[in-house]
Amino acid sequence: MFTQFFGNYLLNQNLVTPEQLVDALQEKKNTRMKLGVLAINAGYMTASQVERVHEMQSKMDKRIGDIAVELGYMTDEQVMELLHSQPLGYLLLGQALVDKGYMTNTQFEDAIHAYKEKYSLTDEDIADNKNSKVEDLISSFCDFSQTSNPALYEEFVSLLMNNLVRFVGDDFTPLEPVTVTDVKGLKATTQNITGEFSTTTSIMADEPAFIEFATRYADEEITEMNEYVEASAQDFINLHNGLFTVNVSNNQQIELKLTPPTPLSDADPEICKNSLILPFQYPFGIIKFCITL
């Protein structure tokens, strides 16, 4: 989830365009982590030092780590630590952006330090997916302070993002939440949560995005709008809301019920009234989730 919010941060700071971010997200899974970006992230080297090492490497047959040690930028132990470290998702995204030429090492250095400082993050927080830090990110992303139960709304959004990662893919970026959206041309399926915490939830997208969403969720190739797309939309919203109600019941002893999800149809503008719309940018398009407040 920290990777997804890093992408959102880069967009908000106008450091990359939406098109560049989508391109990098697609390339992330094929990206090989390089020592320079790891060293910048760890604070062992500056961007200018990495650039100098790269320049020297172009003139001699030596590994980057060996050159960095010879120049006194890192120790052998630090090089081995980085080489054996497990690259975190946000670093792979940063590496893809650098490889594509969308960001320089200096821009990445400034961005990653500012991102961590803004949210008081460490690599340990990110590697452990620390719940308190995730909650901070969610609360800064979505303002539920004026609702009847901010904690439950935040739990809903956190679980939603986790379920997107688990069942659809982690190559998305959350875009800024809005309270008004144009639903023209969008399809939607809706489900109500009733009880002490009541809300109407909807998943909306245009047909091409829904087809690719269904392909990923069902793990089979779907090429046209059909009953499998409809079933996937209904199944995902029912799965997510079902997990949410189980969590709320187990953790807070609040019993909630679900209505059956509606069949996929043209999105109704009335759905979005008094609601928060959460858009998620995937390479294949934007999936929108609507939650009534």
Note the pTM of the prediction, 2 decimals: 0.81
Q: 210 versus 142: which is more confidently predicted?
A: 210
Q: What is the DSSP string of 216-282?
A: HHHTS---SSSHHHHHHHHHHHHHHHHHHHHHHHHHH---EEEPPPPPPEEPPGGGGTTEEEEEEEE
Q: Check whether 88 has a pLDDT greater than 80.
A: no
Number of neighbours of residue 86 by Cβ within 10 angstroms: 7
**For the segment 1-48, what is each residue's pLDDT rounded down to a tens digit?**
788 888 899 999 999 998 999 899 888 878 888 888 888 888 899 989
CB neighbours of 287 closer than 8 A, spacing ≥ 6?
Answer: 164, 168, 172, 203, 204, 205, 209, 213, 279, 280
Span 159-180, average pLDDT: 91
**Which residue, 70, 44, 45, is CA-closest to 57?**
70
pLDDT at 54: 84
Q: Give dist(CA 192, CA 257) in Å, integer.
A: 8
pLDDT at 62: 84
SS3 172: coil
Pairing, β 187-195 against β 199-205: antiparallel
pLDDT at 242: 95
pLDDT > 90 in the chain, percent: 46
**For the segment 231-284, what is each residue's pLDDT rounded down to a tens digit?**
999 999 999 999 999 999 988 888 999 999 999 999 988 888 888 999 999 999
pLDDT band at 146 (very low <50, low <70, confident <90, very high): confident
pLDDT at 204: 95
**For the segment 198-230, what is each residue's pLDDT rounded down to a tens digit?**
999 999 999 999 999 999 999 999 999 999 999
Q: Give dist(CA 207, CA 36) in Å, integer.
A: 42
**Do 291 and 201 contact (CB within 8 A), yes or no?**
yes
Least confident of 58-67, 105-114, 149-158, 258-267: 58-67
Structure-token pair, residue 252 = 């807070």
pLDDT at 85: 78
Q: Check whether 182 has a pLDDT greater than 90.
A: no
Q: Give dist(CA 96, CA 132) in Å, integer.
A: 28
Q: Give dist(CA 92, CA 109) in Å, integer.
A: 14
